[in-house]
Amino acid sequence: MLSYLEAIRIVLDTIRPLPPVDVALPEALGRVLASPVSAAWDLPPADNSAMDGYAFAFAEQTAGDRLQVSGFVPAGSPEQPPTAAGQAVKIMTGASLPAGCDTVAPIEEVRVHDTDI
């Protein structure tokens, strides 16, 4: 009787990969790539917001902190100034995250108090 490891060795020594074939994308489900694939460029080109909300630096906060809203970032705006600790910016879906921000709180989960959240 063969041991488990001997049986695995025999199988692995016997099998060979199938030759690569070209298939349409919908037919590729469940298949394995024959060679690595990479994109010509990053899309989106920068970290962006997946929702309307307020962007800020999460690591700089403790529970109960209020953040000063220091700006507004619409989708498609070119460059944004960095956001300092203790500040947040109102941000729209698809807008690039300003430097210093790593988190977006959904607008539905934020209470606004004058210029603070």
| Local structure of residue 51 (DSSP, 8 states) | S
Residue 1 has pLDDT above 80, yes or no: yes
**Residue showing tokens 């902190």:** 65
The pLDDT confidence band at residue 13, using thresholds 50, 70 and 90, is very high
Sketch the domain layout of the chain as residue ranges: 53-109
Task: Check if the beta carbon of residue 107 is closer than 8 Å to that of residue 51.
Answer: yes
Pick from 14-23, 33-42, 77-86: least confident: 77-86
Q: Report the pLDDT averaged over residues 86-91.
A: 90
Rounded to an integer, the average pLDDT of 74-85 is 81
- On whether the 53-109 domain is CATH 3.50.50.60, my answer is no
Q: How do residues 28-73 score in pLDDT, each as one tens digit?
A: 999 999 999 898 988 887 888 999 999 998 887 777 788 989 889 9
Q: What angle do CA 34, 39, 41 make, to 5 degrees?
A: 170
Q: How far apart are CA 75 and CA 28, in angstroms?
A: 34
Burial class (CB within 10 angstroms; exposed 0-12, middle 13-18, buried 19+) of 67: buried
